């Protein structure tokens, strides 16, 4: 299959691994930002193929995971509001807020509908003109254009009962916050493929210019990731950090100008609350037209916000800890019974470690039996 089989080719992968081993001389820390990259790295055992000079870190690349409990609580409160249909993608259903989840709200009578696109949510609004349909807008720049398209279509058709609660987040500001904090040393960044398909590669230029961090935009197959790692090693060993694209079939330097124009038309930059990081100015997207803004349309009262006891999801998202450092991992927190969002999303770091990662020496199943390794999953 074009763009799949050739990017899983073992000979190509072997050549890239050999190149990386030849070129890598000094200790480097490389971070992948995207949760899809984390899954590929673990699923194909890419960490084990790299030389000991390279340490791989997993960053805050899962949009569901980085959504703060305060925002989740607002969405859950909307689902419990009489007369509201809450439309959401399925990955949000089981994510726990402070005291509940959308799944629990639906079990208690809330009208929560899983949709496959924002246009499905818009269709719900057409079919239910006497009720408000609220779409839970969560995601990075990848999903923002689809939400923008639904708002523009609703405006064109005069569908006034369609609303969006926007907790969208943008990537460059959080990267600046992470590297600027100095909490974790990062030498190179594997930049997200889907996000970069929208924003392009140019927004990452500040990383090599201001921080000396190399960047390579990667696709989602094993050869894509290895090519990005090879590019980063070549840059950094030569002392020439820059922004490379290892995903030319999907990303251009200027990005998708049509999608960017839609985002600009519908949204304005605003502050966003990131789990484990805090409020970052201009890292969120708020709706320009208040007629479609659910937060302005409803008096949302989510109640007090709290974090789950013992959960270190915030530390994991900042790459200062891994799931193996969490006392709840595999014992109490599992994909079936998640304590934190990093275990819920299929691209969450905890879920990836659970399904594909290597267990620590003390890891045990909740029943006390020895934990299963990735080969047993």
Instruction: Kindly state the average pLDDT of the residues 276-305.
Output: 95
Q: Average per-residue pLDDT in the chain?
A: 92
Question: What average pLDDT does range 224-235 have in this prediction?
Answer: 98
Q: How far apart are CA 37 and CA 56, in angstroms?
A: 11
Q: For residue 131, count other CB atoms closer than 10 A to its CB.
A: 15
Confidence of residue 357 (pLDDT cuts 50, 70, 90): confident
Contact 268, 288 (CB under 8 A): yes
Query: 268 forms bridges with which residues in the sheet?
Result: 286
The share of the chain scoring above pLDDT 90, in percent, equals 89
pLDDT of residue 2: 66
Whether the Cβ atoms of residue 221 and residue 40 lie closer than 8 Å to each other: yes
Domain spans, the chain: 1-307
Alpha carbon distance 213, 86 (integer Å): 41
Q: Average pLDDT for residues 140-166, to the nearest whole number?
A: 97
Q: In what order do the strands lie in the sheet with 84-88?
A: 111-114, 84-88, 132-137, 162-166
Would you tell me how many other CB atoms lie within 10 Å of the CB of residue 127? 10
For residue 3, name the pLDDT band (cuts at 50, 70, 90). low
The continuous run of DSSP H or E covering 316 comes out as helix 313-317
Q: What is the model's pTM?
A: 0.90
Indicate if the pLDDT at residue 372 is higher than 80. Answer: no
- CA–CA–CA angle 269, 197, 264 (5° rounding): 25
| Angle between helix 257-266 and 144-157 (nearest 10) | 60
3-state secondary structure 30-76: EEECCHHHHHHHHHCCHHHHCCCCEEEEECCCCCCCCECHHHHHHHH
Give the per-residue pLDDT at 315: 96
Question: Residue 121, exposed/middle/buried by CB under 10 A (0-12, 13-18, 19+)?
Answer: buried
For the segment 294-302, the average pLDDT, to the nearest whole number, is: 93
pLDDT at 358: 60
CATH architecture of 1-307: 3-Layer(aba) Sandwich (3.40)
Q: 312 near 105, Cβ under 8 Å?
A: no
DSSP letters spanning 85-140: EEEE-GGGTT---SS--HHHHHHTT-EEEE-SSHHHHHHHHHH-TTSEEEEEE--S
Q: What is the residue whose two structure tokens read 């974090």?
A: 307
- pLDDT level of residue 195 (50, 70, 90 thresholds): very high
For residue 359, pLDDT over 80 is answered with no
- Strands of 214-217's sheet in order across: 54-58, 28-32, 188-191, 214-217, 243-245
Whether residue 316 has pLDDT greater than 50: yes
Grade residue 47 by pLDDT with cuts at 50, 70 and 90.
very high
pLDDT at 361 over 70: no
Question: CA gyration radius for the chain?
Answer: 21
| Average of per-residue pLDDT across 321-343 | 94
- pLDDT-derived band at 1 (thresholds 50, 70, 90) equals low
Tracing tokens 């915030």 back to the chain, one arrives at: 314
Pairing label, strands 188-191, 214-217:
parallel
The dihedral sign for the CA sequence 38, 42, 45, 47: positive
Instruction: Give the C-alpha distances (Å, rounded to integers) separating 64 from 36, 39, 92, 229, 277.
Output: 13, 15, 7, 26, 14
Beta partners for 164? 135, 293
């Amino acid at each position: 299959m074009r763009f799949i089989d050739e990017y899983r080719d073992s000979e190509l992968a072997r050549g890239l691994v050999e190149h990386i081993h030849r070129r890598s001389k000094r200790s480097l820390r490389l971070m992948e930002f995207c949760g899809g990259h984390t899954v590929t790295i673990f699923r194909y055992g890419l960490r084990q193929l790299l030389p000991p000079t390279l340490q791989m870190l997993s960053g805050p690349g899962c949009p569901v995971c980085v959504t703060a409990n305060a925002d989740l609580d607002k969405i859950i409160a909307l689902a419990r509001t009489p007369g509201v249909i809450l439309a959401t993608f399925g990955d949000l259903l089981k994510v726990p807020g402070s005291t509940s989840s959308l799944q629990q709200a639906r079990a208690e009578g809330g009208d929560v509908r899983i949709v496959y696109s924002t246009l499905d949510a818009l269709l719900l609004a057409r079919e239910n003109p006497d009720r408000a349909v609220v779409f839970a807008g969560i995601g990075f720049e990848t999903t923002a254009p689809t939400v923008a398209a639904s708002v523009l279509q609703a405006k064109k058709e005069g569908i006034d009962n369609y609303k969006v609660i926007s907790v969208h987040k943008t990537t460059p500001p959080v990267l600046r916050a992470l590297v600027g904090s100095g909490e974790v040393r990062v030498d190179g960044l594997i930049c997200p493929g889907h996000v970069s398909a929208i924003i392009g590669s140019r927004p990452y230029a500040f990383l090599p210019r201001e921080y000396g961090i190399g960047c390579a935009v990667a696709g989602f197959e094993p050869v894509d990731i290895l090519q990005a790692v090879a590019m980063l090693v070549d840059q950094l060993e030569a002392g020439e950090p820059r922004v490379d694209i290892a995903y030319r079939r999907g990303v251009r330097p200027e990005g998708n100008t049509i999608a960017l124009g839609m985002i600009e038309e519908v949204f304005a930059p605003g502050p966003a609350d990131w789990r484990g990081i805090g409020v970052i100015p201009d890292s969120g997207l708020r709706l320009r037209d208040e007629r479609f803004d659910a937060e302005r349309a409803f008096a949302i009262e989510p109640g007090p916000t709290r974090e789950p006891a013992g959960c270190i999801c915030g530390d994991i998202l900042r790459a200062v800890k891994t799931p193996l450092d969490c006392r709840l991992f595999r014992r109490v927190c599992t994909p079936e019974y998640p304590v934190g969002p990093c275990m819920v999303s299929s691209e969450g770091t905890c879920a990836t470690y659970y399904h594909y990662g290597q267990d620590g020496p003390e890891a045990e199943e909740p029943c006390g039996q020895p934990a299963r390794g990735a080969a047993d999953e």
